[in-house]
Chains A and B, each alone.
Chain A
Amino acid sequence: DAGVTQSPTHLIKTRGQQVTLRCSPISGHKSVSWYQQVLGQGPQFIFQYYEKEERGRGNFPDRFSARQFPNYSSELNVNALLLGDSALYLCASSPPTGNYGYTFGSGTRLTVV
């Protein structure tokens, strides 16, 4: 049974560019959340989507956007990249019921140069 899959695993971009990160949740999970983990810190909440609707948004600028598709996969887009956007981006999925059963993917390591 496949877990949460994220692509790509690593990415190097230049300042000012745009990036799209992808996530496929566990089969049957309808909720997807995105987190940013900067080195030395814990993951920080960016977005949550449930049934293609945005359910929550963290304290991130409008350069960050996301969407969820009918098959419950999700994309995170970041525009006008800054050096400070360099981080591990984690996707987590959770089942439709139950309490906080988040399963995380291995993440996408984004480096902005």
Chain B
Amino acid sequence: DQQVKQNSPSLSVQEGRISILNCDYTNSMFDYFLWYKKYPAEGPTFLISISSIKDKNEDGRFTVFLNKSAKHLSLHIVPSQPGDSAVYFCAASDEGNKLVFGAGTILRVKS
């Protein structure tokens, strides 16, 4: 039962362009959503989050959009940089005591 889905295993983007990573969820009880970035041999690093009462949150080059009716969120990275190349995980929580992760999307930013 995959409650959080990232349907694109990988994404390749040219440096300077926009990267859009997508995530769908099925559990309507989720009230908080997060994006993590992971480099090889490192743990996931928190990027940005959004509460279910909002539809957009912005932090520098990173913006997360939440569409509750569609149970969909997306992460926009503008402009994309080669250092952004990593695995990106979408995660959701409903009670604060656990995160449910998607399978991840590998982002490659080409210079």
Q: Which residues does A use to contact B, with CB under 8 Å? A: 4, 33, 35, 40-45, 48, 55-56, 58, 90, 92, 99-107
Given A33-B99, A42-B89, A99-B49, 9 extra CB contacts under 8 A: A35-B99, A45-B99, A56-B95, A99-B96, A100-B34, A101-B46, A102-B34, A102-B46, A105-B43
| CB–CB B98/A42 < 8 A | no
* Contact of A33 with B98 at beta-carbon distance under 8 Å, contacts A90-B44, A104-B45, A106-B41 already known: yes
| CB–CB A100/B45 < 8 A | no
User: Which of B36, B97, B103 is A41 in contact with, Cβ under 8 Å?
Assistant: B103
| CB–CB B103/A100 < 8 A | no
Report the contact-size class of chain B (Cβ under 8 Å from the partner): 20 to 34
| CB–CB A43/B101 < 8 A | yes
**Inter-chain contacts of B89 with A (CB < 8 A):** 42-43
CB of B59 closer than 8 Å to a CB of A: no
Give Cα distance in the complex from A100 to B34, angstroms: 9
| CB–CB B32/A42 < 8 A | no
Provide a sorted-by-A list of 23 A–B residue pairs whose CB atoms are within 8 angstroms: A33-B97, A42-B4, A42-B6, A42-B89, A42-B91, A42-B104, A44-B101, A45-B100, A48-B97, A56-B95, A56-B98, A90-B43, A92-B43, A99-B51, A100-B34, A100-B99, A102-B34, A104-B43, A104-B44, A104-B45, A105-B43, A106-B43, A107-B43
